[in-house]
Structure 1
Amino acid sequence: MAFTRATGKHRRPSKTRRAAGGAAGIAGLATVGVVGSIATPAFAASGGGQNNAPVQHDAKVSEVVGGPISETLDQQAYEQALQAEQTKAETDAKEEAAKAKADAKRKADEAKRKAAAEKAEKAREAKERAAREAKRAKLNAYVMPVEGSYVSTGYKQGGGMWSSGSHTGIDFHAGMNTPVQSVAAGEVVEAGNGGAYGNNVVIKHKDGTYTQYGHLNSISVSVGQQVKSGQQIGLSGSTGNSSGPHLHFEARTSPEYGSDIDPVAYLREHGVKV
């Protein structure tokens, strides 16, 4: 920003202006006795001012009027104006730099906050998606009908205990009143006395297959009820044609006796380690 005044750019005054300023300055000096002091020798020489002889001016008066004093004052004013202009320019530059720095910091903070919010949102969505997938996987997962048990009698094992001459399912080791759970989600299609099976439950699963749970001591579900994978459906026992507490388990293609399939292969196909 340039220092200006009414006549345009600031610049040192011309010699004519300095001369005029000097003349005005000498007039001012006269009021405080400067001119009187300078004129005193001439006045004394003329007899105390009694005649009209012209007064001779000392050469130094012109220097005072048009020269060094006026010139020095102008130079000082000029330098002060330049200094003020420079100071203002420096101040403005500092203010602009500070403003630019503050704006940059604000933008950086906003970008950082936005990035953090987006990251948190993505993490939340990923967590919710994982939870949904885990829930869906759990709903569709297959489990053992008796947790931590093992097969005590195999599929199609022969013997006089079975009317068909062979075992139509598998037996899982289980003491009296051990919790029995559905191997997968489905709908209860039978719950009650099943003759030689004693108290039994038959469940239809989403893939169209059926599972049967026999010789139960008690039943905790009813026909038409929807059950989840791993949901307890009763307690093991020795009802019906049984020689002791255990769980008789069958996999079937229909709810009827005689539609049995290999239960071990069935469970393994669905990811259950038997």
Structure 2
Amino acid sequence: MAFTRATGKHRGPSRMARRSVGIAGVATLATTGVIGTLASPALAADTENRSLEDTGLTKVITEDSLADRIDAQAAAQEQEAFEAVAKEKAQAEARAEAKRKAEARAKEVREERERAAREAERRRLNSFQLPVAGSYVTTGYKTGGSLWSSGSHSGIDFHASYGSSVVSVGSGTVVEAGWGGAYGNNIVIRMNDGTYTQYGHLSSIGVYVGQSVEPGQQIGISGSSGNSTGPHLHFEARTGSDYGSDLNPISYLRARGVSL
């Protein structure tokens, strides 16, 4: 015989009912998000910490970041060193180039001066001048008279007081230096252009045969030796060293740039 038990208001719910209600409540809370809200932060943090600690990711990230910074620092320092070396090299090359240009310019200036000096010397050696500075002609070429054995003057006379300096009119070589008879103490010079000049009636001679002379170089002192009526300089231009090969001295000197 089966017994049944009436359900009254004081009778508690059965275990099955309580379980059903509990499950329903949990489902309701889960549906409203209460459990999820309460449990999510702690659960997520715990899960993340366990994940990082378990994999060692935090340590790897830290070490990689430090290594990257060190590498970047080293690369920057290497680049700075490279740029410094390149800059120093460029500056050294610029200094070397400036020095080379300065030396080249100095050489050019030196060579220009040397060329100018050589040219000036060449012009000087090829120049002609009066045998007595500031003098003038007192007796002309081919002047007639008994004073000359040929009947005329074979040269010209320059005014020259006793003791005046007599110079070579140009560059040449002495071919005669001594007594010349009617010319007294005389000098004959073979000029570099192949002509000859003669200087007579000197009181003294200051050069020797074979000596090279330049324009304006003193060769003797004026006087009145030989066939002379007073101190003066007898000057001749010749095609040869001997008497009788005379040229017009005035034309000779003028053709060589001498004013008289």
Shorter-chain TM-score: what band? 0.7 to 0.9
1 CA distance for matches of 2:82 and 2:70? 18
1:98 maps to amino acid: A
Residues 67/154 of structure 1: CA separation in 2 closer, same or farther (3 Å cut): same
1 CA distance for matches of 2:247 and 2:104? 52
Instruction: Report matched runs for 1:89-108 at 5 Å.
Output: 89-108=75-94
1:72 is displaced (CA, Å) by 4.9
Secondary structure at 1:229 match in 2: coil
Equivalent residues, number: 217
2 CA distance for matches of 1:107 and 1:224? 58
1:133 maps to amino acid: E
Provide the residue aligned with 2:50 in structure 1.
Answer: 65
Structure 1 residue ranges without an equivalent (≥5): 1-57
2:174 maps to amino acid: V
Provide the residue aligned with 2:154 in structure 1.
Answer: 168
The alignment status of 1:192 with 2:192, answered yes or no, reads no
With normalisation by structure 1, the TM-score equals 0.70
Provide the residue aligned with 2:31 in structure 1.
Answer: none
Out of 192, 205, 218, the position equivalent to 2:191 is 205
1:251 maps to amino acid: A
With normalisation by structure 2, the TM-score equals 0.73
1 CA distance for matches of 2:59 and 2:208? 114
Residues 89/225 of structure 1: CA separation in 2 closer, same or farther (3 Å cut): closer
Residues 222/84 of structure 1: CA separation in 2 closer, same or farther (3 Å cut): closer
2 CA distance for matches of 1:204 and 1:81? 97
Secondary structure at 1:251 match in 2: strand
2 CA distance for matches of 1:222 and 1:99? 72
Q: Percent identity among equivalent residues?
A: 52
1 CA distance for matches of 2:184 and 2:64? 118
2 CA distance for matches of 1:226 and 1:67? 111
1 CA distance for matches of 2:167 and 2:143? 24
Instruction: Report matched runs for 1:116-265 at 5 Å.
Output: 116-265=102-251
Residues 66/238 of structure 1: CA separation in 2 closer, same or farther (3 Å cut): same
2 CA distance for matches of 1:182 and 1:193? 18
Cα root mean square deviation, aligned: 2.5
